[in-house]
Amino acid sequence: ALADEAGGVAFARAEAHAHALREMQVASALRHALERQELRLVYQPQVSLTSGAIVGVEALARWNSPRWGEVPPTEFIAVAERTGMIGELGHWVLETACRQWVAWRTAGLSVPRVAVNVSPHQLRRGDLALKVQRVLLDTGMDPRGLGIELTESAVMDDPARAGQALSELRALGVEVALDDFGTGYSSLACLRSLPIDVVKLDRSFVSDVDTAPESMALTRAILTMAHGLGMQVLAEGVEREDQLNLLRAKGCDLIQGYWFSPPVAPQALSERLSEGWRL
């Protein structure tokens, strides 16, 4: 048993070492990825269940590394967070998404809104709204065309500071969405005082909303609460028609997910939009 334990410890050490090594390699490669144009954005439509129209798209970062191929965003975003590179990366995402929105507009295509994910680190810095305002001015973007997605856990980490940033964003005319909702232990009292336009119901509830009564009950409660507070609800990760029908019947406002479309390149989105793409 002793020998086993020692082996286990050695193994755990080796694994931790490999993990740290990979993180260092990813961090240093990421540093060059921006300059070398290895990063790109893809866009996933968000659709209204009442009108059937595309009301927005979520910008999602992709990294095609010459060394590792496509690196999952969950991995490189986490590395960027831990190494302080998220500021630069987040700025690139925001600016690229705004430029793309302006390009769509100029081409006469209607993409009402582009939503950008903002990391907890960007929120903690305290100058988020100022940075957003600068990018809006630089790109000539209409603030009403921009949405900011912040995770519930990032917001609840420091609700007072988050509330301040959200109010400033709202004052600019930017829409605010609470991402991954239902996973972050919100206090209802907090939620009530936060200026939030859209609650994004986490995929973990949506995935079995049509088969598990517990997920249905939670979804129903979140819909009632959000609507009572004047917020819209967007269901994430809708993959099946059964989920869509159920969500529509319960009064869910918006959906996003593979059932309607996976995230797509800007060119593909333009083509489908010009064909009158809708639900």
Q: Give Cα 70 distance to the centre of its chain.
A: 19
- Min separation Cβ 82 and Ca ion, Å: 18
Q: Which of 33, 57, 61, 136 binds ligand C2E (CB under 6 A)?
A: 61
Under the criterion CB under 5 A, does residue 152 sit at the interface with Ca ion? no
11 binds, among Ca ion, ligand C2E, none (CB under 5 to 8 A by kind): none
Q: Print the binding letters for residues 172-211 with Ca ion: x by CB under 5 A, - otherwise.
A: -------xx-------------------------------
Under the criterion CB under 6 A, does residue 119 sit at the interface with ligand C2E? yes
Instruction: Give me the residue label for tokens 């009403």.
Output: 144
Under the criterion CB under 6 A, does residue 243 sit at the interface with ligand C2E? no
Helix, strand, coil: what percent of the chain each, to 5?
A: 55, 20, 30
Q: Which of 53, 73, 83, 225 binds ligand C2E (CB under 6 A)?
A: 73
- Euclidean distance between CA atoms 69 and 256, whole angstroms: 26
- Min separation Cβ 15 and Ca ion, Å: 26
Q: How far is CA 249 from CA 97, 133, 220, 252, 253, in A?
A: 33, 39, 11, 8, 10
Instruction: Give me the residue label for tokens 């991402």.
Output: 179
- What single-letter amino acid sits at 85? M
61 binds, among ligand C2E, Ca ion, none (CB under 5 to 8 A by kind): ligand C2E
- Min separation Cβ 61 and ligand C2E, Å: 4
User: Which pair of tokens denotes residue 38?
Assistant: 């290895």
DSSP 168: H
Give 120's Cβ-side CA count (13 Å radius).
13
Under the criterion CB under 6 A, does residue 266 sit at the interface with ligand C2E? no
Q: Which of 157, 172, 239, 279 binds ligand C2E (CB under 6 A)?
A: 239
Under the criterion CB under 6 A, does residue 96 sit at the interface with ligand C2E? no
- Min separation Cβ 235 and Ca ion, Å: 10
63 vs 104, which CB is nearer to ligand C2E? 63
Q: How far is CA 168 from CA 56, 77, 113, 130, 161, in A?
A: 21, 25, 18, 8, 11
Under the criterion CB under 6 A, does residue 44 sit at the interface with ligand C2E? yes
Q: Give Cα 223 distance to the centre of its chain.
A: 20
Under the criterion CB under 6 A, does residue 74 sit at the interface with ligand C2E? yes
> What is the tally of helices (H) and strands (E) in the chain?
12, 9
Under the criterion CB under 5 A, does residue 256 sit at the interface with Ca ion? no
From the list 10-18, 21-29, 72-80, 126-134, the region that binds ligand C2E by CB under 6 A is 72-80
Could you tell me if 116 and 59 are in contact, meaning their C-beta atoms sit under 8 angstroms apart? yes
Residues that bind ligand C2E (CB under 6 A): 44, 60-61, 72-74, 77, 93, 117-119, 179-180, 237-239, 257-258, 263
